[in-house]
Structure 1
Amino acid sequence: MLGAIGLDEIQESVYRALVAVGAAEVSDLAHRLALPEPDTERALRRLERSGLAAQSSSRVDRWVAALPAVALGALLTQQRHELEQAERAAALLAEEYRVDATDAAVHDLVEVVTGASAVAHRFFQLQLGATSEVCALVTGKPVAVSGMENEAEERAATRGVSYRVVVEREVLSLPSGIVELSAALSRDEQCRVVDRVPTKLVVADGTLAMVPLTGRGAAPAALVVHGSGLLDSLMGLFEAVWREAMPLRLGGGGRVEEESNGPDAADLEVLSLLLAGMTDASVAKQLDLGLRTVQRRVKGLMELTGVSTRLQLGWHAYERGWVAREPQL
């Protein structure tokens, strides 16, 4: 919680413990937190430099917590001031960039990023810089970064950035594929699946895109595309794949309200994966269910809709809004 003002986990724990007791000796705090005394003392010294703690005037080995409202308030005010200065500097740089870009050469509209570390860093940076929407096509065999596992995605979603993601079917068969997709859907991200995506792709706010540049066996490299006709084409590619992809509903995710006498969340998970092209056995494995349980749920859905084939079941699922290509309002 206090990492934003520069405190690590140990320093924050020590400060919280000191606030709780008001004043304490190093040995008492170390015992309370189950920390080595040297680590506790180092944390107190760091808190002292930040104005969050001070040594008692009566006893040198005793530490006193600074009043949180005053001490933290001062640090937060300083942090806000520094952020405002950084925002002004960023705005000036952006303005300078726009002026210089009016006559930009064609080669200025793309960047080539090479090396696994550099590609991964640029990938995270692109998402962290997004303000409204991130669109992505995800393959089952990432080269430098994982399509689903990244902290930047969670942080961007927390800031209110919306996600539209299309994964190829192979992702569903990965050991953690279903878990990660369920987590994404729980953050209100929209996820769909197709047999195969044409390329790995990430587009932030419709103004910046990133695509792989190297083929199989070569060192990881990527192309970062700025506003241009090429970027418009990449966004058009994403929208075309998105329209044809199958929506996923996992772990209670999705936006379709369940009917009182309709399928439950587990039924919809099974149905979603089957419509995505997975076999009964694959669905059972991914959802940690028995094969007969999956088949029994499918049979129950067919009886509920009054159909005799799975093809008819898929059609009725769309008609009833159990699986919809667009969110139901």
Structure 2
Amino acid sequence: MLAAIGLDERHESAYRALVAVGAADVPDLARRLTLGEQDTERALRRLERHGLAAQSSARPGRWVAAPPGVALGALLAQRRHELERAELAAALLAEEYRAAASEPAVHDLVEVVIGAAAVTQRFLQLQLGAADEVCALVTGDPVAVTGMENDAEERAAARGVRYRVVVERTVLDRPNGITELTAALARDEQVRVVDRVPTKLVVADRSLALVPLTHPTAEPAALVVHASGLLELLSGLFESVWRQALPLRLGGSGVTEQGPDGPDGTDLEIVSLLLAGMTDASVAKQLDLGLRTVQRRVKRLMELTGVTTRMQLGWHAHERGWVARERP
């Protein structure tokens, strides 16, 4: 309990024993503590340096404890003062860091990571550091990063981090491909498939990205891209591939692809009424549908278009011609 003021368990036990007996010589205290006499004397000397014990002037050879209220109070006050100074130093350092980070140098926006072990480590760090979402493009020829299977992905998903992953169709043909995809879908990750992705890519929280550097003869390397125009470009690349990919579903016969089933007539009516400003409840009443049915259909349309907000869904509905741009 007294570790906060610099005493370990042995020293605390020695002080407590002195407080209990009032005064004791080294052999007596050693028996109480079940320690050797040399270790006991060293503990007493340590207590003496902290002002918690002293040799008795009235009875030579015996040690007495300093009053806890006075001695411990002084040590606690000293520690509080040290903590206040440390907090002030931390605040000043944080302010300096924010000032330096507000205008990052160009060379700080991109890191080059070389070596398979280093690339794998950064890949894991991106996932463990993610707070909201991880987006990934996965190819069928992993080098440093082996694809879907890693402990960091499971730990991040368990914390509530959302995963959106697009895999090349050849991933399904890998020996462990179906097993890894099944595990990902079981963690409620969203997985889609395309014939070919343009590059391997991982984007965490739209603030950090990992892009491999490929060369037939060189060792594995990657770029770590921080917030910048390049990062926005990479995020846009992922979204473009995501919209074109087909969702994978975990059915009774395993992982299956969901065909490009577009919106039906009811879906289009729902979108049109929502764009007109009606609430979900009003749309349900207007179309004689259940509220949950409307919300489920809207969620499916958002998944189909790869968006996360209804405003984005409205934009995609216009772009794809699902609703008329002008009313007759």
TM-score, normalised with respect to structure 1: 0.52
Q: How far apart are 1:93 and its partner, in Å?
A: 6.6
Q: 1:172 to 1:90 in 2, by over 3 A?
A: farther
Instruction: Name the CA distance, whole Å, in 2 between partners of 1:174 and 1:124.
Output: 22
Q: Which amino acid counterpart does residue 226 of structure 2 have in structure 1?
A: H
1:155 aligns to 2:141 (yes or no): no
Using a 3 Å threshold, how does the CA distance of structure 1 residues 211 and 91 change in structure 2: closer, same or farther? farther
Report how far residue 104 of structure 1 moved: 2.0
CA distance in structure 1 between the partners assigned to 2:193 and 2:161 by the alignment: 21
Q: Give the distance between the partners of 1:207 and 1:231, measured in 2 at CA.
A: 7
1:202 aligns with 2:202: yes
Letter in 1 for 2:190: Q
**CA distance in 2 between partners of 1:219 and 1:153 (Å):** 25
The aligned residue for residue 121 of structure 1 is 121
Whole-angstrom CA distance in 2 between matches of 1:174 and 1:89? 53
Q: Is the 8 A contact 1:246 1:325 kept in 2?
A: no
Instruction: Look up the match of 1:107.
Output: 107
Q: Is the 8 A contact 1:247 1:325 kept in 2?
A: no
Counterpart amino acid of residue 227 in structure 1: A
Structure-1 separation of matches of 2:118 and 2:158: 25
Question: What residue number does 1:266 align with?
Answer: 252
Using a 3 Å threshold, how does the CA distance of structure 1 residues 161 and 327 change in structure 2: closer, same or farther?
Answer: same
Task: Answer whether contact 2:140 2:171 (CA < 8 A) is retained.
Answer: yes
Structure 1 CA distance, aligned partners of 2:90 and 2:191?
Answer: 33
Q: Secondary structure at the match of 1:230?
A: helix
Give the equivalent residue in structure 2 for 1:211. 211
- Matched ranges for 1:40-189 at <5 A: 96-189=96-189
Residues 258-284 of structure 1, C-alpha deviations (whole Å, 9 max, x = no match): xxxxxxx326x57x34x5xxxxxxxxx
Distance 1:112 1:176 in 2: 30
Local SS of the residue matching 1:163: strand
1:230 paired to 2:235: no
Residue 224 of structure 1: how far off its partner (Å): 0.2
- Residue by residue, what CA displacement relative to the aligned partner does 1:165-204 show, whole Å, maximum 9, x if unpaired? 0001010111111111111111111000000110000010
Q: Which amino acid aligns with 1:221?
A: A
Q: Distance in 1 between matches of 2:252 and 2:108?
A: 50
AA matched with 2:150: N
1:99-151, Cα deviation, whole Å (9 max, x unpaired): 21223221110000000111100110111000110000001111101111111
Contact 2:246/2:260 (8 A) holds in 1: no
Please list every run of 5 or more consecutive structure 1 residues that lacks an aligned counterpart in the other structure.
1-87, 251-264, 276-313
> How far is the alpha carbon of 1:89 from its aligned partner?
10
Alignment-derived partner of residue 289 in structure 1: none
Q: CA 1:132–1:200 in 2, change beyond 3 Å: closer, same or farther? A: same
Q: Partners of 1:182 and 1:169 in 2: how far apart? A: 15
Distance 1:165 1:100, change over 3 A: same
CA gap of 1:208–1:219, structure 2 versus 1, over 3 A, is same
TM-score (norm 2): 0.52
Q: What RMSD, in angstroms, separates the aligned Cα atoms of the two structures? A: 3.6
CA distance 1:318–1:194, change in 2 (3 Å):
farther
Alpha-carbon offset, residue 326 of structure 1: 4.0
Secondary structure of 2:252's counterpart equals helix
Higher gyration radius (CA): 2
State the AA in 1 paired with 2:183.
A
Aligned to 2:79: none
Deviation for aligned residue 1:96: 4.2
